[in-house]
Structures are given as structure tokens and as C-alpha cells.
Structure 1
Amino acid sequence: MNFQCSMMIAGVIYLMFFPMHSVESSRIDFTNIKCTSVNKEFSDFEYCFLKATNRTYKYLSLKVRLYKIPIHQFTVNLGLHKRSNGLMPFSQNVTFDGCKMVADLGNPFVLFLFALFKPYSNINHSCPYTHDIIVDKLPTHFVNQQFTRYVPFPEGDYVFNSNWLTNGKNRAIVRVHFSFT
């Protein structure tokens, strides 16, 4: 028996008798959502809430009624902040054209963010938008699967802030509070 073969057998025996400790995966938990319509003549939130149906299933839902349609152009400004004696910027603010985001998913960061809610939203086509915007029952477990697969995050409380603009004017603010454990 050569040295490599004996080391392989020793490694298998070691793993059998001294199993590796399982690594707990990180977990996101929605803690709050706040939706603000800046110009109620342009749009308003019909509903915006988190709901926990049991200990393990929590989801986010919102519906924005658009009063001045069609919308041919919109811009989104995103920021992530960590709570630590106030809100501290955790990453760069990102601003992008929302119509181009859906038409051309070339930016990997924007593609990643879009994948977080795409199956649960009607934001699935490029401009113009002639209907209300809905995110329907986006579950925490889906965000966990998408988010924790790619992004290593330190534990803590975070706020995901998004500003939705048309024609250079802020129309809505959506803030999602979550904890990462």
C-alpha cells in the first residue's frame, strides 16, 4: 500500500469518527416595511405590509396605485444601511434606469436585486407601465435562498432604502428593515 492510499484511508476513517460540525447558514428576517408616497397625485400605496402566518413563514406585500399613466421612464436609487448607533451606509448608493433594467439585465448587481422579487411582482416588462405595481407575498425564505447564496454579510440589523423617481422627481420611498443572523 503506497503513502497516498494510506492517507486517503486515514482521512475517511477520521471523517467517520470525527464528523465535521454543520455550519449554520445565515438567515434574513424581515422586521418592518415603510412605504411613503411623496406625491399622492402621482401615486399612492393601497397597501404595504409584512405578515407572519406562523413562526417560519413571513412575507412582504405592497401595491402602488399609479394615477398618471403611462410611465415611460423611471429611475431607482438604492441604498443599504446598517444600524449601529444610527444608520451607517453599508454599501454604495446605486442609481439606475428602471426601464433599461428590465429590458437589458447587463449589470450583475441590478440583475441580482431584480431576481430578489421578480417572481412575485408584475414589474416584468420594460416601459411603458400602464398598470398598478404589485409585489405579492414575497416570502422571507425566497429572499434567503437568493440572498445568502451569493452575499456574505456580517450579522446585524439593516435598512434597504429605495427611492423611485420619474422625470427627476422623487415619487415614492420604500424602506425594508431586516435582520441578518
Structure 2
Amino acid sequence: MGSAVGKLLGLLLCLQCLIELHGVFIRFTNVTCESKDLSSSIVEYCAVTNLSKNKNSIRLRYTMLKPMLRNVEVYFQLLTRGSESINTVSNWQPFLYTLKLDLCRFWKNHHNHLARMVFEFIEGHTNLNHSCPYTKENYISIEDVTNTEVSGKIRGVPMPKGFYALFTKLSTENISRVQTNFYFEVLSP
């Protein structure tokens, strides 16, 4: 009985090693949050928290001082940074995708594959997961999204080792309200 359990544990360990070797594993390095319109929102908190040696998470919350009614747009831009450059905005270069998304339309029919993938990263961790209007929200939050969860969801996505950033802006009525930038490192392709 003991050797069967040992073999099973060994097999599971080997499978985990294969997954880590053939999948993408990321580590969050930073998150920045900025309210672009202090009359509509303020940053309550914004942080990366280390949970263990290989696991960290992101938490952020914007307090909304005015409701977001309609014409809610989210802008996403995925960037990469050269290995020789330092962490400055000018050293970030577009990687693959730039997307401007009508959030109200997206929640009606999930029409954009890339946007679906991005929102799957925060599924179950945010209150931005329903159709417009956003009239009862006192805040926008993303709570406890871990690097291990995101790593599991992007397996098979071709991303070489290196440093990346996902820059996001949320606007209503064509006015930028909040900007959140997520920084991460791909440790294994």
C-alpha cells in the first residue's frame, strides 16, 4: 500500500514538472493604480502581495464617487521590455495586442476572444462582471488574483521569457477615469 502511494505521488510530481516545463509560469512584479479624474474615483489600495516563494497575488480597489452609467470603455495594451532596459515607461514596446473595448457591449455578447481571455483571468475576483449600467457599485475591485491561477489560464500562449506589462484604462463618456498597469515576468515559456 505504501509503495503504491509513493508511486502515485512520484507520478504526480513528474506530471507537475512536465506542466511547469511546458507551460508558461508568471510572477507579478508590480501593479500601479491611478485615478485620472479625482471627482469620480480614488485609489483605495493597490498592491502585489507575496504569499510564498513562488506565489503572489494582486489586490486593488478604486472607490467610485460617481456611478458609471453607460459608454464604459476599457483599453488594454500588452507590452514587453528589453532585457537590457530599466523599468521606465519609454523602454516598454508593444508586444502583440492593443484593444479598445466597449464594456457594455462586451457583457451582452462576449464578442471579443482576447477580452474574454483577459476577463477570465479575474473571473470570480472582481465586481466588473455584469452588464451596464454600473449604478450600484461603490467601488471597482480585483481581489486576490494569484500568479498561479493566471499561469494556469495562459498555458499554451506563446510568450517568451521576459518582462511584460498590461496597461489598462477605463473611461466613461470618453473621459479617462482610472488607469491600472499590471507588470509581470514570464519565467518559463
Query: TM-score scaled by structure 1?
Result: 0.83
Query: Over aligned residue pairs, what C-alpha RMSD do you find?
Result: 1.6
- 2:62 corresponds, among 45, 64, 81, to 64
What is the aligned partner in structure 1 of residue 3 from structure 2? none
- 2:52 corresponds, among 33, 54, 62, to 54
Equivalent-residue separation in structure 2 for 1:170 and 1:146 (angstroms):
29
* One-letter amino acid of the structure 2 residue matched with residue 109 of structure 1: L
Equivalent-residue separation in structure 2 for 1:22 and 1:75 (angstroms):
40
Equivalent-residue separation in structure 2 for 1:56 and 1:90 (angstroms):
25
What is the aligned partner in structure 2 of residue 111 from structure 1? 116
Structure 2: state its 5+ residue gaps: 1-16, 86-90
Per-residue deviation, residues 90-135 of structure 1 (Å, max 9, x unmatched): 1231101011222211211111111110111111210111211111
What is the aligned partner in structure 2 of residue 14 from structure 1? none
Task: Give runs of ≥4 in structure 1 deviating > 4 Å.
Answer: none
* One-letter amino acid of the structure 1 residue matched with residue 73 of structure 2: T
Equivalent-residue separation in structure 2 for 1:71 and 1:137 (angstroms):
26
C-alpha displacement of 1:71: 2.3
- 1:91 corresponds, among 78, 83, 96, to 96
Structure 1: state its 5+ residue gaps: 1-20
Query: TM-score scaled by structure 2?
Result: 0.80
Does residue 146 (structure 1) correspond to residue 144 (structure 2)? The answer is no
Does residue 173 (structure 1) correspond to residue 179 (structure 2)? The answer is yes
Matched-pair identity in %: 24
Equivalent-residue separation in structure 1 for 2:18 and 2:100 (angstroms):
39
What is the aligned partner in structure 2 of residue 34 from structure 1? 32
Say which one has the larger Rg: 1
Q: Equivalences for 1:76-87 in 2 at 5 Å?
A: 76-84=74-82, 85=85, 86-87=91-92
Per-residue deviation, residues 123-174 of structure 1 (Å, max 9, x unmatched): 1210111211111111111101111x24110110011100111111111110
Name the one with the larger strand percent: 2
What is the aligned partner in structure 2 of residue 164 from structure 1? 170
C-alpha displacement of 1:22: 4.4
C-alpha displacement of 1:72: 2.2
Contact in 1 for aligned 2:24/2:157 (Cα 8 Å):
no
* One-letter amino acid of the structure 2 residue matched with residue 100 of structure 1: R
- 2:144 corresponds, among 108, 113, 137, to 137
